[in-house]
Structure 1
Amino acid sequence: MVLPKRGLVLGATAAMLTTVAITGAGLQLSQSQAFFSESPKELVDEVWQIINRQYLDATFNQVDWRAVRNEYLDMSYDSKEDAYDAIQEMLDKLEDPYTRFLKPEEFETLQIDTSGELLGIGIQIALDEETGDITVVAPIEDTPAFEAGLLAKDTIVEIDGQSTEGMEINDAVSLIRGKPGTSVGIVIRRGTRELEFEIERARIEIHPVRARIEPTESGNIGYIRLTQFSANAVDEMREAIQDFEKQDVAGYVLDLRSNPGGLLYSSIEIARMWLEEGTIVSTVDRRGEVDRQRANYRSLTDAPLVILIDGGSASASEILSGALQDNDRASLVGTQTFGKGLVQSVRSLGDGSGLTVTIAKYLTPSGRDINEEGIEPDSIVELEDSQREALQQDRSQIGTLKDPQFVEALDILLETIASADSAPGDA
């Protein structure tokens, strides 16, 4: 999935938060057994072998995959970069944006993205497609960038003395990232002024869960926003639900908007917190084998639940929302999800590079194959451009009464609570 602006969290490596092609629902880390031994051709063949064994489409996009191997092993490679280019050419024949070769620095980025911890200054940046400027999307709270005073919409014009004019995002990331305790010099343009910052890098923990109480006449409502299915999302979600249960909330709004996915196990474990019994997700590989994940009778709450989704809800977000919708556990509000129903295995290669391979597709409990289709909400609420821009410009409005989709979700939830309260009890 490619959004108009790609957000990056900068640290010792950069973690892509909005690119589903890298952070798919089913990232399953496994160690390659190949020994690179400084031979670029061995790396090319290792990638070919992995695709040959694991790739979901046994026809390889109607490509003669054995002929591809012969073609690329007959070539001579003078460097690893030559091998990297050849590997990408091979993978392009599959026409699968989720099966990708990752150079060592890109593979490190992926691993940090799912770990929930970064090493850096703590900002999200984007390349403005209209101006070509590298712009601060937002500083992460309680990080060196936040404390230094960087603000959303600041334009980064220099990094350690190098002009950012014409610079690609990945190049900016490479300049800004570094070891904790070292510093980076950044010059930003804010309005008509240019400001200089010297910011010390640090170890930064990313918190994917934001939670608060929304008071209503029908009781307190627990609002939980989940931005990413990273390694620490499970613990943070559990803590949020348990805390709200102690406060006797009447119901929940779970916000999965613009959540691009992450780890498969994270979505399954979080689904089990809301669902007492039933199927969560099924995965089917190229041999037709099905792995079915179910609830384990250990849900944390049975309070009414409404989930917010949109076109940025992808992959693991679709697994969770589809599972709870199909099991009649939650109502979905917003707009159709992205439609990314494929599972990737992530393989490390001998030289520190990596490979993401589409190995399976997932189905919702009712058997829906949502790849490229997405999940339809029970209640469609489109945002006008002005409303969307207002939420983008002031993120504090997200999940409040100034957020039209949240307001609709809250109304539906309160109606559900009222209906449950008025239902006749057992004699």
Structure 2
Amino acid sequence: MKRGFWGLVLGLLLGSAWASPSRYAEQFEYAWRLVEEYYWDQSHHGVDWVAVGERYRDRLPEIKDWRGLDRLIEEMYGELRDDHSTYLSPDEARLLLSGAQCLPLPYREAWDRPSGRNTDSPSAEAANPVPTPLSEEPRETAFAAPQVSLRGGAVIVRLSNLIDPEAFSTLASAIRRYEAESFRKGSIKGYILDLRGNPGGLALRMAEVAGLFFRGVPWRIVSRNLGTLPQPTQPALGRANTQKPLVVLIDGQVNSAAEGLAGALKEAGRAFLVGQRTAGNTEVLIPYCFPDGAVAMVAAGVLAPLRGATWEGRGVEPDLPVQGAEAQLEAALRYLDGLSSRRYSLPAWIEKIRAGQRFRLELGVVR
């Protein structure tokens, strides 16, 4: 009886050991197929994706654990060289996506059984067929928190990314607070949205932030499988949270959804852009979540204004080119000061009458 028991245990252990390579292969194939079937550029930027798959597939026998598989797939995604697409382990997804929503892996069979990832491992997540396995409390974030400050009557909000939900919530809270203060005291001249160095993030977060300042359908997403899709602000209708003047600070390190945000605000005539031309890297990332909590970030489309040429490869031009971080901020403050002084000046027709009177006084016509 004892021999039979231990034989069963040994058989289960051996079965588990032999099953792992097949689970690694399944995870690998799903990750490879996502790029093959959903990547926006069918030529994969000139990369032979079939050959890449074969080369990395040959390395699967070397994989001894899930951590090794995560690194292998991440390295494979790096072959695209698009500065966007990547593969995140469950731990990395929790840290980097900070609770952001993702789409379930579009292969039904992947959800029909547990992933096989060892949930006792510090880098593992229990298999859980839920489309948004990234929301956990308490949560960490790899990004700098949004910063809000007040200078010379201008509310300055710095957003380091458009992934963290705090990017939207912090900005929305700042607008609520200072709009109320401005209503009571009339002390707020406008807003400065500092996007410098922002690598971008999610189209949803971009649409939420834009919706605080204006409403409409300012973008289109050009995708491989779905064609051209209009992208509205969130929400798309109604009155924006503020009508006050807005200046956006940009530089060459602004990418992706952050470029789309700056570009849309400029195209809508809602913001004045100060700084340097953005990176021109506007691929749209779609996060696909695996049952075990890993996430494949795939560039599934290109972001463009609703009408006109895409920003891909050319970037968003500032209204006022300025070099140097402090000089850019000072230029933004001066712009808001100028608007404020004009807003509180007398109507133009009164100024013209006064100017005419002064002119006639000089001629001795009016006593």
**Equivalent residue of 2:303, what SS?**
strand
Match of 2:314 in 1: 373
- Are the counterparts in 2 of residues 40 and 80 from structure 1 also a CA contact under 8 Å? no
The correspondence of residues 70-109 of structure 1 with structure 2, limited to 5 A, is 77-80=61-64, 83-84=69-70, 87-88=73-74, 90-109=76-95
Q: For residues 240 and 329 of structure 1, what CA distance do their matches in structure 2 show?
A: 18
1:334 deviation in Å?
1.2
User: How many residue pairs end up in the alignment?
Assistant: 286
The correspondence of residues 165-244 of structure 1 with structure 2, limited to 5 A, is 208-215=145-152, 220-229=153-162, 230-244=164-178
Match of 2:26 among 42, 55, 58: 42
Match of 2:330 among 407, 421, 424: 407
Q: For residues 297 and 329 of structure 1, what CA distance do their matches in structure 2 show?
A: 15
Match of 1:293 among 221, 232, 257: 232
1:204 deviation in Å?
6.3
Match of 1:271 among 206, 210, 216: 210
Matching residue's letter, 2:205? S
Match of 1:284 in 2: 222
**Equivalent residue of 2:261, what SS?**
helix
Identify the range of structure 1 (249-258 vs 405-414) with the bigger mean alpha-carbon deviation.
249-258
Q: For residues 313 and 85 of structure 1, what CA distance do their matches in structure 2 show?
A: 27
Matching residue's letter, 2:217? T
1:54 and 2:4 equivalent?
Answer: no
Q: Answer with 1 or 2: which has the greater Rg.
A: 2
1:379 deviation in Å?
0.7
CA spacing shift, 1:58–1:418, aligned 2, 3 Å: same
Q: For residues 221 and 85 of structure 1, what CA distance do their matches in structure 2 show?
A: 45
Matching residue's letter, 1:42? E
- Are the counterparts in 2 of residues 279 and 323 from structure 1 also a CA contact under 8 Å? no
Q: For residues 318 and 77 of structure 1, what CA distance do their matches in structure 2 show?
A: 42
| TM-score w.r.t. length of structure 1 | 0.58
1:250 and 2:184 equivalent?
Answer: no
CA spacing shift, 1:70–1:204, aligned 2, 3 Å: closer
1:74 deviation in Å?
6.7
The correspondence of residues 15-164 of structure 1 with structure 2, limited to 5 A, is 39-62=23-46, 65-66=49-50, 77-80=61-64, 83-84=69-70, 87-88=73-74, 90-112=76-98
Q: For residues 203 and 105 of structure 1, what CA distance do their matches in structure 2 show?
A: 11
1:418 and 2:341 equivalent?
Answer: yes
Q: For residues 43 and 159 of structure 2, what CA distance do their matches in structure 1 show?
A: 37
Q: For residues 364 and 423 of structure 1, what CA distance do their matches in structure 2 show?
A: 37
Q: For residues 148 and 78 of structure 2, what CA distance do their matches in structure 1 show?
A: 42
Percent identity over the alignment? Answer: 30
Q: Which has the higher strand share?
A: 1
Q: For residues 211 and 76 of structure 1, what CA distance do their matches in structure 2 show?
A: 48
Q: For residues 271 and 426 of structure 1, what CA distance do their matches in structure 2 show?
A: 35
CA spacing shift, 1:318–1:278, aligned 2, 3 Å: same
Q: For residues 304 and 90 of structure 1, what CA distance do their matches in structure 2 show?
A: 45
**Equivalent residue of 2:237, what SS?**
coil
Matching residue's letter, 1:223? I
**Equivalent residue of 1:418, what SS?**
helix
CA spacing shift, 1:310–1:113, aligned 2, 3 Å: farther
Match of 1:322 in 2: 263
- Are the counterparts in 2 of residues 114 and 262 from structure 1 also a CA contact under 8 Å? no
Q: For residues 209 and 269 of structure 1, what CA distance do their matches in structure 2 show?
A: 15
**Equivalent residue of 1:289, what SS?**
strand
1:350 deviation in Å?
4.7
Q: For residues 314 and 96 of structure 1, what CA distance do their matches in structure 2 show?
A: 12
1:341 and 2:325 equivalent?
Answer: no
Unaligned stretches of 5+ residues in structure 2? 1-18, 102-121, 124-137, 183-187, 351-367
CA spacing shift, 1:209–1:103, aligned 2, 3 Å: closer
Taking only aligned residues, the RMSD between alpha carbons, in angstroms, comes to: 3.5
Matching residue's letter, 1:209? P
Q: For residues 211 and 250 of structure 1, what CA distance do their matches in structure 2 show?
A: 15
